[in-house]
């Protein structure tokens, strides 16, 4: 057996005490009733018989004491029930908060698991125009390269290079420097 099985909660202790006091009270009530009936029978049978005042006072004092104990036990029971009710409410609030936290945690976990796919899709979407532009530039580059090769080939196979005529500069009163060819 574990220690928990031997522990008794304050609520159970109060209930047991309350039950015990109620049983004692019922026994006292029964004894008082029996004594009252016996006294009544004796008084009817013997008018000179008077009840013992000390015994009656003792019973009355015991009844007051038991009633006081019972009232205290009931008050403690009510306080314990209020405390239990408050704790139950706190437990419910904590369970609700825990459920909300778990839901948020699962939502965040799901979002974190989907982040690579989301960023991959966004990256692919953003790269699409770049890829298109690169392909277009590669096509243009290829076309320009083939045109340059065609022109180079034509120039290489065409007639010998002709002399390029340079326009003459007219010197009107200007003297141009000479480079030693005078």
Report, as an integer, the average pLDDT of 76-87.
93
* pLDDT confidence bin for 5, thresholds 50/70/90: low
Q: Which two tokens stand for residue 51?
A: 């009840």
Q: Using a pLDDT cut of 90, give the percent of the chain over it.
A: 44
What are the residues whose beta carbons fall under 8 Å from the beta carbon of 17, sequence distance 6 or more?
Answer: 73
Q: How far is the CA of 131 from the CAs of 117, 125, 135, 140, 145, in angstroms?
A: 20, 10, 6, 14, 21
At 108 the pLDDT is 95
Give me the residue spans of the domains in the chain: 7-152
pTM (predicted TM-score): 0.38
Q: Which two tokens stand for residue 3?
A: 């220690």
Q: Does residue 65 surpass a pLDDT of 50?
A: yes
At 137 the pLDDT is 94
- 128 CB-contact burial (10 Å; exposed 0-12 / middle 13-18 / buried 19+): exposed
Compute the chain's Rg from CA coordinates: 57
pLDDT tens readout for residues 96-116: 999 999 999 999 999 999 999
């Amino acid at each position: 057996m574990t220690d928990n099985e031997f522990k008794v909660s304050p609520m159970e202790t109060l209930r047991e005490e309350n039950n015990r006091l109620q049983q004692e009270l019922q026994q006292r009530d029964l004894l008082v009733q029996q004594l009252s009936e016996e006294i009544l029978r004796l008084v009817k049978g013997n008018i000179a018989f008077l009840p013992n005042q000390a015994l009656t006072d003792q019973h009355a004092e015991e009844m007051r004491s038991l009633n006081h104990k019972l009232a205290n036990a009931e008050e403690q029971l009510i306080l314990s029930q209020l405390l239990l009710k408050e704790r139950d409410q706190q437990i419910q609030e904590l369970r609700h908060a825990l459920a909300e936290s778990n839901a948020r945690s699962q939502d965040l976990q799901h979002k974190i698991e989907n982040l690579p796919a989301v960023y991959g899709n966004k990256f692919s979407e953003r790269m699409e125009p770049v890829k298109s532009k690169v392909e277009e530039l590669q096509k243009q580059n290829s076309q320009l390269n083939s045109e340059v090769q065609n022109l180079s080939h034509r120039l290489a196979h065409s007639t010998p290079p002709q002399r390029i005529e340079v326009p003459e500069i007219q010197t009107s009163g200007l003297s141009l420097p000479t480079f030693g060819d005078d």
